[in-house]
A = this chain, B = another copy of it.
Amino acid sequence: MGNLETYRNLVNLRLEQLFAQPHDGRPELLNDAMWYSVKAGGKRLRPCMLLAAVDMLGGDVSEAMDFACAVEMIHTYSLIHDDLPGMDNDSMRRGRPTNHVVYGVGQAILAGDGLLNLAFETMLNASSRRPERAAQDLLAIGEIAKGSGVTGMVAGQCLDLECERNASMSGVDVLEKIHEGKTACMFVYPLRAAARLCAAEEETLSALTQFGKMYGLLFQAADDLTDVVGNSAEAGKTLGKDAESGKLTCVSIWGVEGTRERIARLQKAAIHALDGFDARADFFRTLAEKAAQVS
């Protein structure tokens, strides 16, 4: 088992291969716009979790690499579209101008579309090189598609947007639906894809699903809390935006202390979901501990 840095280096290396000098004839401008945002990526949490899960289940990390990169492409496309005018209208992300500020709204829309499509292309290409495992690969790609789709991430973003424009949509149920969709699904389904790639048993699949969900909710709760109590320089982004825009967040519902309690509870639940795994799951236990640390 590696640590986060080991996996991140592998992911970055493969992303570099996929974007730095593509030889498939894609337009240069399109590739530049996609790579601009992919390159700016942070911790590569989601692809690393997929690789770590494959590793933990005894699978081949290098064979899973293109699935991991696809997950990062999907995550990146969602950020590009999320930042657009008409969505969050953000002009800075990770300390750099957002995609549409640099390339214009039209090209940013296409860069996002291109990344979502390329994610599938990348997984399908990898799979077509090993037809003997086609059935397993189909299930794995299906998990990613479900996670990023109209009952997953896109659903969460739709509700989030609807909620901002409709004051009558509020409360714990709405919040949890939004956080599950827009945040937790992109942890849950990459983990499920890893399990599919390893032909893992149902029990493993459901333990990873539960961990992913608890971790995702924890991650979002910590993000909500950071927006209120965090330090902008450390967080690498403008804070205080949620309260300013009257957004429905953990803090708007439970307050600062209540959110801290929620974080502690979710951390425990995430770690509890891993009870059936031995020390090889320590990668995930550490992740949950780190995610819960909001100063």
Interface, chain A (partner B; CB < 8 A): 24-27, 29-31, 34, 77, 81, 84-87, 100, 104-110, 112-114, 116-118, 120-121, 124-125, 127-128, 131, 134-135, 137-139, 141-142, 145-146, 148-151, 154-155, 157-159, 161-162, 165
Rounded to whole angstroms, the CA-CA distance of A158 and B115 in the bound complex is 13
- Pick from B109, B121, B139: contact of A87, CB under 8 Å: B109
**Contact between chains at A155 and B109 (CB < 8 Å):** no
**Contact between chains at B150 and A117 (CB < 8 Å):** yes
Q: Which residues of B contact A87 (CB under 8 A)?
A: 105-106, 109
Rounded to whole angstroms, the CA-CA distance of A109 and B82 in the bound complex is 9
- Given known A-B contacts A117-B149, A131-B138, A150-B118, A162 and B124 have beta carbons under 8 A apart: no
A-B contact pairs, 18 of them (CB 8 A): A24-B151, A26-B150, A26-B151, A27-B162, A30-B154, A86-B105, A86-B106, A86-B109, A104-B165, A106-B161, A114-B154, A117-B149, A117-B150, A117-B154, A118-B149, A120-B120, A121-B142, A134-B138
Q: Which residues of B contact A34 (CB under 8 A)?
A: 150
**Contact between chains at B154 and A113 (CB < 8 Å):** yes
Q: Which residues of B contact A157 (CB under 8 A)?
A: 110
- Pick from B112, B134, B149, B162: contact of A134, CB under 8 Å: B134
**Contact between chains at A148 and B117 (CB < 8 Å):** yes
**Contact between chains at B30 and A158 (CB < 8 Å):** yes
Rounded to whole angstroms, the CA-CA distance of A159 and B29 in the bound complex is 8
Could you tell me the distance in whole angstroms from the C-beta of A157 to the nearest C-beta in chain B?
6
Rounded to whole angstroms, the CA-CA distance of A150 and B31 in the bound complex is 8
Rounded to whole angstroms, the CA-CA distance of A135 and B121 in the bound complex is 15
Rounded to whole angstroms, the CA-CA distance of A112 and B85 in the bound complex is 16
Q: Which residues of B contact A124 (CB under 8 A)?
A: 138, 141-142, 145
Rounded to whole angstroms, the CA-CA distance of A105 and B100 in the bound complex is 15
Rounded to whole angstroms, the CA-CA distance of A130 and B223 in the bound complex is 42
Q: Which residues of B contact A116 (CB under 8 A)?
A: 113, 116-117
- Given known A-B contacts A84-B109, A112-B113, A149-B117, A27 and B141 have beta carbons under 8 A apart: no
Supplied contacts A30-B154, A118-B150, 8 more A-B pairs, CB within 8 Å = A27-B158, A27-B159, A81-B109, A81-B113, A104-B165, A113-B154, A121-B142, A137-B138
Rounded to whole angstroms, the CA-CA distance of A189 and B4 in the bound complex is 39
**Contact between chains at B120 and A145 (CB < 8 Å):** yes
Q: Which residues of B contact A137 (CB under 8 A)?
A: 134, 138
**Closest CB pairs A-B (n = 8):** A86-B105, A134-B134, A131-B135, A134-B135, A124-B142, A117-B149, A26-B150, A30-B158
Most chain B CB atoms below 10 A, which of A86, A108, A154, A155? A154
Rounded to whole angstroms, the CA-CA distance of A105 and B88 in the bound complex is 11
